[in-house]
Amino acid sequence: MLNATPLTPRRDCIALGLAYHSQNNDFKILRIVCREPSAEAEIYTLSTDSWRKVVISEESEPEPNIGSIFEINEKPCLFFNGALHSIAYSENHYFILSFDVNDERFRNIMLPPLNYLVEMFPEFDELVVFKEMLALIVIGKDVDEITGICHIWVMKEYGVVESWTKICVSLDSVNNFYGCNDNGALLIKNATGLVLFDPSSLNENVLAIEDTNWVRYTTNSMESLVLLDGSEHED
């Protein structure tokens, strides 16, 4: 169990992320807390078994005036390309807040232009790793509220806003969205149950899993020789 910190009141909006720091052979936990007048952040490192505050910079490129963050998406932060990512909100912007695990600096990645929501009424939006690229999945109804639709915004070149590319497919009756697998199939829940939906072929693969409450908290596993006490292994 981790020690409590000052940034833990229940009324605040909180985002958490777990990352492995390969350079130092260490694990880190990021906690972002939104409170007046702006968000604060702290980092836990396994090697020191302690929390410390980190500064959320309000500078970014190419948008230098993001302003103070007043809300953060409370879903677990997405770890990709050595950084933790979460969707954040300021007074004038809706963007991705990234935290580089190596230099412990925050950076801002602008989302696709706000008109990416004009064509639909979104019901789910989530950051994912789609075929080894950062992506934003938006699922909802079209403007006529008749047809279900899914927009997959893929950042072809990491950190380059101009590289956002949209993939659009029809997708009806989605009750929940859980993520996607390594091949880019979307893991969703509909009237049939838990389904893997391939946006390329439009094929659905029904999974024989009844209890889906735990699915959101699963992740890819990789064999590792990392020692949790931070020591180096010796033969």
Please give the residue range of the domain that contains residue 10.
Answer: 1-110
Same domain, yes or no, for 103 and 13?
Answer: yes
What would the pLDDT profile of 19-76 be if each residue is shown by its tens digit? 988 888 899 999 998 877 778 899 999 999 999 999 887 555 545 556 678 788 888 9
Q: 185 and 150 share a domain?
A: yes
Give the number of domains in the chain: 2
Identify the CA nearest to 220 among candidates 174, 187, 175, 176: 187
Within-domain flag for 228: no
* DSSP string computed for 139-178: EEEETTSSSEEEEEEEESSTT-GGGEEEEEEE-----EEE
**Does residue 232 belong to any structural domain of this protein?**
no
Same domain? For 65 and 83 the reply is yes
Cβ–Cβ under 8 Å, residues 177 and 168: no
Is the pLDDT reported for residue 103 higher than 70?
Answer: yes
Do 117 and 135 lie in one domain? The reply is yes
Segment 139-152, tens digit of pLDDT: 998 877 778 899 99
Verdict on whether the full-model pTM lies above 0.75: yes
CA–CA dist 214, 218 (Å, integer) = 7
Q: Does residue 85 share a domain with residue 15?
A: yes
Same domain, 115 and 206: yes
- Residue 135: per-residue pLDDT: 96
pLDDT range class, residue 93, cuts 50, 70, 90: confident
Q: Shortest CA distance to 183 belongs to which of 162, 201, 208, 157?
A: 201
Tell me if 76 is assigned to some domain.
Answer: yes
Note whether residue 56 is domain-resident. yes
Question: What pLDDT score does 39 carry?
Answer: 83
What residue type is 228 in one-letter code?
Answer: L
Please state, rounded to an integer, the average pLDDT across all residues of the chain.
82
Whether 132 maps to a domain, the answer reads yes
Residues facing residue 89 across a β-bridge: 71, 94
